[in-house]
Structure 1
Amino acid sequence: MPRHYAIVPAAGSGARFGAEKPKQYLDLLGRPLIFHTLAALTAHPAIERVWVVLSPDDAEWSRHDWLALGPKLETVRCGGATRAASVTNGLRAAAMAAADDDWILVHDAARPCLSAAMLDALVAGLADDPVGGILAVPVADTLKRADAAQRVAATEPRDGLWQAQTPQMFRYGRLLEALENCPGVTDEAGAIEALGLAPKLVRGDSTNLKVTYPADLALAAMILRARQ
C-alpha cells in the first residue's frame, strides 16, 4: 500500500502581509501560525511524516517549541527562492523515505485551518485516482477583470471555475518529475497539468483559507476558536 507524506514549504517572507517577521511565525491563539498548520497534518493517522522546508538562514524556527507536534515532524533547510523550488528541494530531501508510488501532500504553511475532515476527503477521494488532485472550492463571487486604471474592463463568467487550495496530493515520482520539468508554476497542480494530465478537484471548504493579509489572521483565529 502506498504511504502518505506531507511537505510544507515555509521559506517565504510573506511580503504581502507587511509584518516584521515571516507570516508563518505570527501569533495565532498563542502559537506561531504554522504550528496550527503542522498540527493538522501530524495529527492525521494516514500521514506518516511531515517535512517542513525552511530557508537556510531561518533564525525564527529555533525560537519556538515544536515538541507537542510529535515525532512525525522533520525540518530541512533547503528552501528556494520560489514555492516550486522549495517543494522540489523538499521532495529531493524526502527521497530517503518516499517511493515513487507514495502520495505527497503539499500544504501551504499559511493555511492553519485545515481540518481532519478535509484531509479525510482528500485521501479517500484520491485513493484510487491515477493522477491525484487538490482541495478546491467553486468560485461563488462575481469576477471582474480590471484595466490599467483599476476600472472594470469585463465581467468574467464563473461557471466551472474553482479556487485552488491545499493540500495538493500527487504521487512522489510524478510530482518530482513535473516540478523539475516545469519550475515556474505557482502550484503543484500546474506542474502536473503541464505533463498533459488533469488533476481531480476534491471539494474543500471556505474555512481552509490562506492567511495573506492581516484581516485573514483575525478570521483564522475565529475559525479555530469556533472549533475548540
Structure 2
Amino acid sequence: MGVVVVAAGSGTRLGADRPKAFVELVGVTILERSLRGVLAALPDEVVVVVPPTHVDETSALVEHLGESGSRISVVAGGAERTDSVSAGLAELSEGIRWVLVHDAARCLTPVAVFERVLAALRAGVVGAIPGVPVVDTIKVVDTGGVITETPLRETLRAVQTPQGFDREVLTAAHAAGAAATDDAALVEALGHDVLVVKGDHRALKVTTPEDLVRAERLLSELP
C-alpha cells in the first residue's frame, strides 16, 4: 500500500506566512504530525507532495523522522490539487496496488481510519473514503440564494481523507483530466462505485485560524 500525502497548499485562508503544512501546531508542524500518523499505518511507500520551495526542507524532515520501514520520497506539487496528486502517483513504485491519498492538513487522523479504508480495498472495492454523518440541515440554493432543494440529512456525509483506491483506477481517473475537489469525485466520474466507511471527528482539516484552535483543543484532550 502506498500513501500520497498532499501538502502543497498555500495556507492563504489560514493567514500564515508559509505553506499551511509548515505551520506549527503546539510546537510541531502540521506536516510532521500528519506524517507520523501516516507511518503508524505501516505503508510500504509514502510520497510527500509539497511546494517546490519546500522540497529540501521536507527531505530534511523525512530524515529527522528516522527509520520507519516505509520508503519515503518527496516531490514538488503543481498548481492544482489534481496536479499534485498526479505527481505523487507517478513517484510510486509499479508494484503498489492500492493508493491512499491523504491531506496533510488532516494531521490528527487516527490510524484506525487508515485501517478501515485499507480493509475495504482488501475486501474488493475499487474506492473507499471515510465520512461522518452531517448534523446540520443542508440547503441547495441557486445563484440568487433561493433554496431549490433540501436533501435528506440521513443520506449526507462529510467526507475526509485518506481516500483509498485501486491504483490503476485512480491513475485513469486523473488521466481523464476532470476538475474535482477530491479524488473520489474523479473516480465517480468514470462510473465506479466508491464506498464510504466510518470516519472520525478528529480528522478535521486545518484550513482557517479557527480550525487551528479546534485542533489545539483536540490535542489537549488526547491522553
Moved more, 115-124 or 138-147: 138-147
Q: Note the 1:84-95 alignment, pairs <5 A.
A: 84-94=82-92
Q: Note the 1:72-83 alignment, pairs <5 A.
A: 72=70, 74-83=72-81
TM-aligned CA deviation for residue 99 of structure 1: 2.8
Can you give the 5+ residue segments of structure 1 that lack an aligned partner in the other structure? none
Question: Which residue pairs with 1:99 in the alignment?
Answer: 95
The answer to whether the 8 A contact 2:129-2:197 is kept is: yes
Question: Which residue pairs with 1:33 in the alignment?
Answer: 30
CA deviation map 1:4-56 (0-9, x unaligned): 110011112022222111111111121101111110111223x1121101222
Question: Which residue pairs with 1:126 in the alignment?
Answer: 121
After superposition, the Cα gap between the structure-2 partners of 1:92 and 1:26, relative to the gap in structure 1 and judged at 3 Å, is same
User: Partners in 2 of 1:20 and 1:33 — Cα distance?
Assistant: 14
Please state whether the residue corresponding to 2:162 is helix, strand or coil. Answer: strand
User: Partners in 1 of 2:21 and 2:149 — Cα distance?
Assistant: 34
Correspondence 1:58 to 2:54: yes
After superposition, the Cα gap between the structure-2 partners of 1:171 and 1:69, relative to the gap in structure 1 and judged at 3 Å, is farther
CA RMSD of aligned residues (A): 2.3
TM-aligned CA deviation for residue 73 of structure 1: 5.7
CA deviation map 1:76-135 (0-9, x unaligned): 3331111111001110111xx2336x1100000100111122222222233122312101
User: Partners in 2 of 1:194 and 1:153 — Cα distance?
Assistant: 26
User: Partners in 2 of 1:128 and 1:146 — Cα distance?
Assistant: 38
TM-score (structure 2 length as normaliser): 0.88
Question: Which residue pairs with 2:150 in the alignment?
Answer: 156
User: Partners in 1 of 2:197 and 2:220 — Cα distance?
Assistant: 26
Question: Which residue pairs with 2:106 in the alignment?
Answer: 111
Question: Which residue pairs with 1:193 in the alignment?
Answer: 188
Number of paired residues? 220
TM-aligned CA deviation for residue 195 of structure 1: 0.8
Question: Which residue pairs with 1:22 in the alignment?
Answer: 19
After superposition, the Cα gap between the structure-2 partners of 1:189 and 1:135, relative to the gap in structure 1 and judged at 3 Å, is same
The answer to whether the 8 A contact 2:30-2:105 is kept is: yes
TM-score (structure 1 length as normaliser): 0.86
After superposition, the Cα gap between the structure-2 partners of 1:198 and 1:62, relative to the gap in structure 1 and judged at 3 Å, is closer
The answer to whether the 8 A contact 1:42-1:49 is kept is: no
The answer to whether the 8 A contact 2:4-2:49 is kept is: yes
User: Partners in 2 of 1:87 and 1:113 — Cα distance?
Assistant: 21
User: Partners in 1 of 2:123 and 2:8 — Cα distance?
Assistant: 32
User: Partners in 2 of 1:10 and 1:80 — Cα distance?
Assistant: 11
After superposition, the Cα gap between the structure-2 partners of 1:93 and 1:140, relative to the gap in structure 1 and judged at 3 Å, is same
User: Partners in 1 of 2:143 and 2:66 — Cα distance?
Assistant: 47
